Amino acid sequence: MPVEESTHRRLTLLADGDELATALLESGIERTPDGPDFARLRFRDSGGCSMLDGQGLCRVHAGFGHAELFAVCATYPRYANEIDDDVELFGTLACPEVTRLALLAADGFELALSTVEATPRLARNRFRTASPYFMPFKQLRSAFIQLLSEPAYALAEKLFVMLWLADKLKPVLYEGCASVPPLDLEKALSALADPGVLGALSSSFRGLMLEGTLPISVIVATLRPPGEPRPGAQTTRFEGIWHEVEARYGAAVARGHAPSDAELRDVWTSYRATCARLPASARERIDVCLTRYGVNHLLTTPHMLSANLFQYAYDLVLRLACLRFLLNSRLADFCGSQRELDASIVEVVYSFVRTIENADLPSELRKTLREQGLDGFAHAVCFLSI
pLDDT > 90? residue 167: yes
**Phi, psi values for residue 311, rounded to 5°:** -60, -35
Residue 35: pLDDT band (50, 70, 90) is confident
**Stated pTM of the model:** 0.89
Is 165 or 367 the better-scoring residue by pLDDT?
Answer: 165
pLDDT > 90? residue 366: no
Which range has highest mean pLDDT (33-37, 156-160, 250-254)? 156-160
pLDDT above 90 covers a percentage of the chain that reads 49
Domain map of the chain by residue range?
2-75, 78-127, 206-385
Mean pLDDT (whole number) for 103-122: 81
pLDDT > 90? residue 359: no
Is 345 or 75 the better-scoring residue by pLDDT?
Answer: 345
pLDDT at 46: 66
pLDDT at 268: 96
pLDDT > 60? residue 16: yes
pLDDT at 7: 85
Handedness of CA 12, 72, 357, 309 (dihedral sign): negative
Which range has highest mean pLDDT (89-98, 256-265, 287-296)? 287-296
Contact 75, 122 (CB under 8 A): yes
Question: Which pLDDT tens digit goes with each residue over 219-271?
Answer: 998 898 876 655 555 678 888 899 999 999 999 999 888 899 999 999 999 99
pLDDT > 60? residue 110: yes
Is 60 or 144 the better-scoring residue by pLDDT?
Answer: 144
Average pLDDT of the chain is 89
Is 344 or 182 the better-scoring residue by pLDDT?
Answer: 344
